[in-house]
Amino acid sequence: MAPRPVAWVEHSETRRSRPRIADPIRATLKIFGKGAQLAILAALMHPAHADDLRPYQVVGDAIPKSLTGMPGDAARGRAIVLNRQVGMCLLCHSGPYPQEKFQGTLAPDLAGTGRRSSDGQLRLRMVDASRLYPDTIMPPYYRVDRLARVAASFAGKPILTAEQIEDVVAYLVTMREESKP
Ligand code: HEC
């Protein structure tokens, strides 16, 4: 079991009465059972920290180096982009996928992306598009701080892993054809 947060330990060891923080947990436990209690404890013990991410360096408008030190896999990246649960890209973007119904109209078409941007530029846009477009609606796929309404089980975890980011970047650089009118 991971160490308990310091405040919790202090309370429970220095006072005979029940620590305050345990009361909402007990109440939740009564209502929702053990899963909910564990989720709350996980949130307390594992607040989102940027330390959970691999370090990267932003140079200009790009992250020139692979987050994993390895090139990604374009075929896996394509699958992430097309997946409606994992990448969700087509919620906002359209792309050269005639077979895909209901593509997004909120963001630029992904066709030609690899011609417009370098792999480093695409990496930064994937990691945290808000660094370039402060009010963007595009999710920061590799950021864990400054997020609202994160479920406890996702706290501290980026939307995509470093490997998945590299796979998506590897795929996007291959998208050199503009959409046919
Ligand atoms: C909720 C909407 C949304 C989702 C989901 C989303 N994007 Fe975006 N994306 C945008 C918007 C909007 C922009 C344009 C920047 C801006 O104006 O905010 C953008 C910009 C980009 C750019 C830069 C385009 C350019 O020509 O400069 C790339 C590349 C990109 N998105 C790729 C992706 C990929 C890949 C995914 C899925 C893993 C994704 N986006 C998911 C909304 C979204």
Do the Cβ atoms of 23 and 84 come closer than 8 Å? no
Task: Name which residue leads in pLDDT, 168 or 150.
Answer: 168
Burial 23-54 (b: 16+ CB within 10 A, else e): eebeebbeeeeeeebebbbebbebebeeeebe
The strand pairing partners of 59, in sequence order, are 62
Which domains, and CATH codes, for the chain?
Answer: 6-45 (no CATH), 50-173 (1.10.760.10)
For residue 12, how far is its CA from the centre of ligand 1 (angstroms)? Answer: 47
Closest residue by CA, ligand 1 atom 16: 136
The structure tokens 């305050």 sit at 20
Q: 92: Cβ below 6 Å to ligand 1?
A: yes
> What rounded mean pLDDT belongs to the chain?
80
Report which ligand 1 atom has the smallest distance to the Cα of 168: 35
CA distance 169 to 122: 6
- The one-letter amino acid code at 44 reads L
Do the Cβ atoms of 37 and 28 come closer than 8 Å? yes
Q: 90: Cβ below 6 Å to ligand 1?
A: no
For residue 44, how far is its CA from the centre of ligand 1 (angstroms)? Answer: 32
Summarised one tens digit per residue, pLDDT across range 13-40 is 334 444 455 555 555 556 666 565 555 5
CA-angle at 41, arms to 40 and 46, nearest 5°: 105
Rounded to a whole number of angstroms, the CA Rg of the chain reads 21
Tell me the pTM: 0.76
Select from 92, 135, 166, 176 the residue to mutate for testing ligand 1; criterion: most ligand atoms less than 8 Å from CB.
92
* Longest Cα–Cα distance in the chain: 73
Summarised one tens digit per residue, pLDDT across range 51-98 is 568 999 999 999 999 999 999 999 999 999 999 888 899 999 999 999
